[in-house]
Amino acid sequence: MTDILLLGGAAFFAGLVDAVVGGGGLIQLPALFVALPNVAPATLLGTSKLAGIWGTTVAARNYVKTVKVRWAMVLPAALVAFILSFAGAFTVTHLPPTYLRKALPFILVAVALYTFRKKDFGTSHTPLFHADKERWMAMLVGGGIGFYDGFFGPGTGSFLMFLFVRLFGYDFLSASAVAKIINVACNAAALLWFGYSGHIIWQTGLAMAVCGVLGSLSGSRMAIKYGSGFVRKMFLLVVLALICKTTYDGFIR
């Protein structure tokens, strides 16, 4: 019973945080490792993906109902992200992400410092590219982050948000909507791989998914209600948490 409460609570909070700025895996995955210490890490990763994709999908749906999305840009980017996320998941079975693990904290520090110093960063929505160029740029971003998500993964949603604000001129709320759609594609590709290789505990993942969906509904509503300023603050908090987690994983553990 204690394990069920732990995993359900973690899934709810992960869904809430992930709906706003990404990074829900920071909460959900460690909870799975604590509750199921004797299960293979790949199986825990697959179960976490199963639990998380439903909440991310619900959050994306909530954003789409309120935030204007350029589908001609987002759908090609999501398709490329899906393909390269699957390629990344395949690659990591042959090439461990040792060097990326050590570089990631420094990349995240740069992201946090840039966001903190630019007080107006992500507060206004002024797209920088016309349709064709934006589509190709989004496909490059979707492909690169998709491969990263399949190959390694921590902070995928946060990286997508940062890039759509920094490179595309989006506000944080619009960037969060786009990030959720692309993230669903990344998660679906990884889920296919884990499901095919038998690395999912279906009952646990689906039970956590219910809690994650409830958290995602709450998180996306909070983001839409309080706007880009609220999302920016949450983004900084999640990036700081990611810095701590990736530093521990890369240099201490």
DSSP character string of the chain: -HHHHHHHHHHHHHHHHHHHHS-THHHHHHHHHHH-TTS-HHHHHHHHHHHHHHHHHHHHHHHHHHS---HHHHHHHHHHHHHHHHHHHHHHTTS--HHHHHHHHHHHHHHHHHHHH-TTTTSS----S-HHHHHHHHHHHHHHHHHHHHHT-TTHHHHHHHHHHHTT---HHHHHHHHHHHHHHHHHHHHHHHHHTT---HHHHHHHHHHHHHHHHHHHHHHHHHHHHHHHHHHHHHHHHHHHHHHIIIII-
**Residues 101, 250 contacting (CB under 8 angstroms):** yes
Least confident of 61-70, 92-101, 157-166, 181-190: 92-101
| Residue 5's pLDDT band (cuts 50, 70, 90) | confident
Q: Please give the residue range of the domain that contains residue 153.
A: 2-252
150: phi > 0 → left, psi -120 to 50 → alpha, else beta; which? alpha
Residue pair 35/27 in contact by the 8 Å Cβ criterion: no
In the chain, the percentage of residues whose pLDDT exceeds 90 is: 40
* pLDDT bucket at 121, cuts 50 / 70 / 90: low
pLDDT in tens, 24-79: 877 888 888 888 888 887 788 889 889 999 999 999 999 999 898 999 999 999 99
Look at the chain and report how many structural domains it folds into: 1
The arithmetic mean of pLDDT across residues 122-150, rounded, is 87
- For residue 94, is pLDDT > 70? yes
pLDDT in the model for residue 241: 86
Cα 250 → chain centroid = 20
pLDDT confidence of 122, banded at 50, 70, 90? low
Q: Which of 10-24, 95-109, 213-227 has the highest mean pLDDT?
A: 213-227
Q: Tell me the pLDDT tens digit for each residue of 176-191.
A: 999 999 999 999 998 8
pLDDT category of residue 80 using cuts at 50, 70 and 90: very high
What pLDDT does residue 123 have?
65
Average pLDDT for 126-147: 91
**pTM exceeds cut of 0.75:** yes
Distance CA 49, CA 72 (A): 27
Query: Is the per-residue pLDDT at 89 higher than 90?
Result: no
Mean pLDDT score, 239-251: 84
| 234 vs 243: CA distance, rounded Å | 14
pLDDT band at 207 (very low <50, low <70, confident <90, very high): very high
The whole-number pLDDT of residue 168 equals 93
